[in-house]
Amino acid sequence: MADKNKAQYNAVMLIDDNEIDNLINQKMIEAADMTKNIYTHTGAKSAIEFLKNIEKMEGVAEQVLPEIIFLDIDMPLMDGFQFLDEFDKMGDVTKSKCKIVMLTSSINPQDMNKSKKYNYVKKYINKPLTQDTLSKLSV
C-alpha cells in the first residue's frame, strides 16, 4: 500500500543568517520528504515577527505554525539565544506546537549547555543537516 502522505510535518522553519546553509538545509529537508512547507528566514527578528503574525490569525495558527524550527546560534542583530528569549514570550499555541532544534556550527559546550535551559529546545545538532540526522530526528 502506497503511503500517500509521507510528510510527517506540515511545516518546518529554518533560521540562519547564512543563505548558503539555508539553501543546503532546505534541499536536505526537501529530499527527506518530511514536510510540505519550508519557511526560511535569514534573521531571527524576521522569524519572530512571522510567528507573531501567524499567532494573530484566528483559527489559522494551528495549521500554519511550523512543528520544527531549526535555529542557528551565531547570527547578527539577534542571535539564537535572543530568539529563544523572545520565543518564550509567544502564546501557548505557538510554544506547544513549535519544537526547536538548534542547528549550529558551534562546538562550544557552553552553547550546548545553555540551549538545554530552554524547554522548547528538543535537540542540538551540528551543521549541515544530513539525511541521516533527519531520519533520526524525533522531536
Model confidence over 8-33: pLDDT tens digits? 899 999 999 999 999 999 999 999 99
Tell me the pLDDT tens digit for each residue of 113-136. Answer: 999 999 999 999 999 899 999 988
pTM for the model stands at 0.93
Confidence of residue 2 (pLDDT cuts 50, 70, 90): very low
**What pLDDT, in 10s, does the model give residues 72-106?**
999 999 999 999 999 999 999 999 999 999 999 98
* Residues pairing with 13 in the sheet: 39, 69
Indicate the CATH number of 16-135 among 3.40.50.2300, 3.40.50.720, 3.10.290.10, 3.40.718.10.
3.40.50.2300
Q: Residue 30 has which C-alpha cell? A: 526537501
